[in-house]
Amino acid sequence: MEYQDLCDPYMLEQDEELFYGFWGSCTNSYRSTKHHPGYQIILKWREALRVKANSNGIHGTKSRFRAAFDRLKQCQALPAGVTKDCVTNDPFFVYTSNVDSHFKRDFDRTEVYELHGNVEMWQCAGDVETGAREPCEKIWKLPADFRFDVDETTMKAPGAEATTCPECGGKGRPNVLMFHDRQWIANTSDENGYIAWESVMELMLQEDPTLNLVVLEIGCGTRVPSVRRETEMVVADVIEGCGRPQATLIRVNLEIPTCDNPLIVVNNGFLPIQSKGLEALEAIDHELTVITLRDKD
């Protein structure tokens, strides 16, 4: 059986215990896995950007972000219902297709968008096979101390109270976008926050030629190319909107470190790094440290 077969909502009806065994094993593993040092490196960079953004008082990046947000909101150029409270005003954002929820361990909720959801959040499954009953729209978080009872021989697990919809009593499933998925309940709040942040960022770049955007993409393959498409689109939009090269895509990928967008390449907005993620982060961090120490001297 292939990964695509297991990562399919229809498996819940075909073999409930195998479905819960697969997702239970994933969830147990994600919860027991500690961060590798790369997360702390990115967190350190985020903190440095925050310090810089808070400098210069009313002329700082954060103040200008809030002003740009207000202008876009006033002309209704942002998603409806988006407020400043649900959008980070830091010059930093995490856009990830990972479903392990590891970024949310250390980073603020308003600066992370998990476009495929995560295994920590579960939703009502409805009637997957026949579609006779739609999900009841209920989403809930698994208890922090919950672990699936997965049989290591059969890789099956029974359902549990934690995986039962607390609203209607129906079967639950991870709030994760799966293959052939028609009943996933998307996280529109986080999505709108990301869209708003991106819109404000692009306006600030257009108005200030001294600002630059760096998009660092790490380990995104082509089997599910959602992130690769998004990063290329963001950088291309900035180059086209600003009329000048103010954005760079750094693609860290051991197997396919190429760019498919000619606009980015011709404007020297692409830097490929053929490397594993952690090795690249450590090398970049070393160079940034050298530059910082040199500037202090």
Instruction: Please state, in angstroms and as integers, the Cα–Cα distance from residue 167 to each residue in 17, 129, 136, following that order.
Output: 22, 20, 8
Q: Using only the alpha carbons of the chain, give its radius of gyration.
A: 21
Q: Which of 102, 116, 180, 286 is catalytic?
A: 116
How would you write 84-139 as a 3-class SS string?
HHHCCCCCCCEEECCCCCCHHHHCCHHHEEECCEEEEEEEECCCCCCCCCCCCCCE
102 is catalytic: no
C-beta of residue 149 within 8 angstroms of C-beta of residue 25: no
Strands of the sheet with 172-176, listed across from one edge? 139-141, 117-124, 172-176
Q: Is 7 annotated as a binding residue?
A: no
Interstrand relation of 247-252 and 270-273 (parallel, antiparallel or unpaired): parallel
Report yes or no: 139 and 122 within 8 Å, Cβ to Cβ.
yes
CA-wise closest residue to 125 among 187, 185, 179, 180: 185
Is 168 annotated in some ligand binding site?
Answer: yes
Q: Is 124 within any annotated ligand binding site?
A: yes
User: What are the binding residues for Zn(2+)?
Assistant: 124, 136, 165, 168
Binding-site positions? 124, 136, 165, 168
Active site residues: 116
